[in-house]
Amino acid sequence: MPFDITVLWRAPDINPLNRKARSIPVFNPINVYGRVFLFSWWGFMVAFMSWYAFPPLMKTIRTDLHLSQNEVSNSNILALSATLLVRAVCGPLCDRFGPRYVFAGTLLCGAIPTALAGTVKNATGLIILRFFVGILGGSFVPCQVWSSAFFDKNVVGTANGLTGGFGNSGGGITYFLMPAIFDSFMHSHGMSAHKAWRVSFVVPFLIITGTAVLMLLLCPDTPTGKWSERESAIKHNVEIVNVSHSRQNSATAVPVGFEKSDKNSSSSDVDVNMGNVERGQVIDSTVDEYTHEIVQKPSIMGVIKVFLSPQTLALCTCYFSSFGAEIAINSILGTYYLKNFKTLTQTTSGRWAAMFGLLNVYGRPLGGIIADVIYKKTNGSLWAKKFWVHFLGIMTGVFCIVIGVLNSHDLSTMMGLVAGLAFFMDAGNGANFALVPHVHPHANGIVSGLVGATGNLGGIVYAIIFRYNGVNYGKVFWIIGVMCISMNLMVSWIRPIPRSQIGGR
């Protein structure tokens, strides 16, 4: 069946049981699903942009604060450390209070230290400040949990890939934006470099704060209403759809979120939305499957049980090697280019480095989109989705090894290899979070938080390896490549979901 381009702006078909959308109205912010989609990726993008606002200006900052190479590396590591902690905490908080409030809270908490960048006077101040700015990196978890809450399993990989990919592109955009802001303050406003880089951080502060406020004012918690009422709403919908064969009943009782005048409230339309389920009937396994997916209030034992699950550990391992490598490489790429290509300036090297982050715009979404296509073509095989994750992880490792061994001083060769690496790495991130919603869906926030935090742990480990190898960047690249391949092969045998798990759609 050919792709219907109108799904990109028209109101989506809705699953009557959980009220999740079965398509993504990417270009329709008026529709509630399109609006949540917009704020999911935009909120994460501005957070990522501010989180990585320091590396593009690091040459100026380093000179102004008289920083050593180790002090710069330490600031990179601390920025990742805070994000690891915040992501681990954000997961259970999302399950408890809902992703929208956690998302906005994370943005507001990270905006404050961003605004205080101008107060930094020495290396210690920079390291401490970047630790707290790292809070912004935790916004990825509510971004993905919120997206998973609004889009059904047939498109959740695409939705999470798009929101994550567009969001990750902030790491590339900031390499264009921050030097441009810095240059503007210097050349158009006559500021010194000492003052210009400090004032530059006011801009991301304003963008982040405005985004958080609008998110709270314009968006709902879930498709069925308040987060605290999600369980009763879905159970109500299951009961209503289960008796939808009676037009008399459907005229007086409609699923939560439907208006009685809505065309979807008719029994025939409800039955169409239910796909293969016979008219007027919801088989017991389907009911169990949907009620099993209702996110539960987290407990300490629940978190431990999910964390120790082999399926969660497999997801964490893959994300450790893909996203961890991405953020560590993103921190040093501009400096790597300056080392290998002496003719580049801070601004031009930043623009070349920006390509690595900007390729998230298509790389990560493609990882999720292809995962959804594979899922559909294989009649819902999660093994096929998992195979796709490992294939991308292994190819990421291959490209890292090639870049490290060649350590090319030819600009076009280096750019081609980095572009290839970026695709497989970004697609791997997207494919991973196309599989996450299937694993322990009753604890989606916990799983998302643990996987996201482990990605940051990977970033810290790789950043430490960079630190202790100084400017020998090529060596670290091939070390990362070997680790990526080994870790993916190590967990490739683990089942996609536990044998005892209900559903797994």
d(CA 218, CA 478): 46
What does the pLDDT read at residue 284?
A: 47
Cβ contacts of 93 within 8 Å, gap of 6 or more: 102, 445
What does the pLDDT read at residue 501?
A: 74
What digits encode the pLDDT tens for the residues 235-248?
Answer: 777 666 665 544 44
CB–CB of 270/15 below 8 Å? no
What does the pLDDT read at residue 282?
A: 43
What digits encode the pLDDT tens for the residues 446-455?
Answer: 999 999 999 9
Q: Which of 443, 436, 432 minimizes the C-alpha distance to 304? A: 443
d(CA 69, CA 50): 22
Reading the block at residue 38, the tokens are 């917009």
503 Rama sector, left if φ>0, alpha if ψ -120 to 50, beta otherwise? left
For 11, phi then psi, to 5°, come to -60, 135
> For residue 393, what pLDDT band results from cuts at 50, 70 and 90?
very high
What digits encode the pLDDT tens for the residues 180-200?
Answer: 999 999 998 889 999 999 999
Return the DSSP state at 225.
Answer: B
What does the pLDDT read at residue 248?
A: 46
Return the DSSP state at 267.
Answer: H
Cβ contacts of 98 within 8 Å, gap of 6 or more: 221, 222, 226, 227, 228
What does the pLDDT read at residue 55?
A: 84
Least confident of 53-62, 281-290, 312-321, 476-485: 281-290
CB–CB of 418/358 below 8 Å? no
Reading the block at residue 161, the tokens are 């890939």
Reading the block at residue 37, the tokens are 């989609």
d(CA 443, CA 104): 21
d(CA 357, CA 170): 7
What does the pLDDT read at residue 286?
A: 54
What does the pLDDT read at residue 256?
A: 54
pLDDT at 400 over 80: yes
> For residue 283, what pLDDT band results from cuts at 50, 70 and 90?
very low
What digits encode the pLDDT tens for the residues 55-92?
Answer: 889 889 999 999 998 898 888 888 888 889 999 999 99
d(CA 253, CA 255): 7
Over residues 10-21, the mean pLDDT reads 90
What digits encode the pLDDT tens for the residues 337-386?
Answer: 999 998 888 778 878 888 888 888 889 999 999 999 999 999 889 999 99
pTM of the model: 0.81
For 222, phi then psi, to 5°, come to -140, 170
What does the pLDDT read at residue 500?
A: 75
Cβ contacts of 289 within 8 Å, gap of 6 or more: 502, 503, 505
| Distances in whole angstroms, Cα of residue 401 to Cα of each of 11, 127, 418, 470, 481 | 45, 31, 11, 18, 5
Beta-bridged to residue 225, according to DSSP, are: 222
What does the pLDDT read at residue 224?
A: 87
Reading the block at residue 454, the tokens are 């482990």
For 500, phi then psi, to 5°, come to -80, -10
What does the pLDDT read at residue 349?
A: 85
What does the pLDDT read at residue 385?
A: 94
Cβ contacts of 314 within 8 Å, gap of 6 or more: 386, 491, 494
Mean pLDDT of the chain: 86
Percent of the chain with pLDDT over 90: 62
Q: Please give the residue that has the higher pLDDT: either 255 or 485.
A: 485
Q: Which of 253, 238, 242, 255 minimizes the C-alpha distance to 293? A: 238
What does the pLDDT read at residue 222?
A: 92
What does the pLDDT read at residue 242?
A: 63
Over residues 288-316, the mean pLDDT reads 82
Beta strands in 5-151 (DSSP E): none
Query: Could you tell me the sign of the dihedral formed by the alpha carbons of 204, 110, 140, 213, in that order?
Result: negative
What does the pLDDT read at residue 44?
A: 95
How far the first Cα of the chain sits from its last, in Å, is 21
SS3 state at 14 = strand
HSE, side-chain direction, 13 A CA sphere, residue 409: 5
Over residues 292-303, the mean pLDDT reads 76
Beta-bridged to residue 222, according to DSSP, are: 225
What does the pLDDT read at residue 153?
A: 86
Over residues 114-140, the mean pLDDT reads 94
Beta strands in 58-205 (DSSP E): none
What does the pLDDT read at residue 18?
A: 85
What does the pLDDT read at residue 259?
A: 43
Q: 310-340 and 58-65 helices cross at what angle (nearest 10)? A: 70
HEC string of 356-383 equals: HHHCHHHHHHHHHHHHHHHHHHCCCCHH
Least confident of 121-125, 162-166, 284-288, 421-425: 284-288
Cβ contacts of 195 within 8 Å, gap of 6 or more: 185
pLDDT at 16 over 70: yes
For 27, phi then psi, to 5°, come to -105, 30
Reading the block at residue 502, the tokens are 């209900």
For 14, phi then psi, to 5°, come to -120, 135
> For residue 297, what pLDDT band results from cuts at 50, 70 and 90?
confident
Q: Name the superfamily (CATH) of residues 7-225+299-491.
A: MFS general substrate transporter like domains (1.20.1250.20)
Beta strands in 12-85 (DSSP E): none
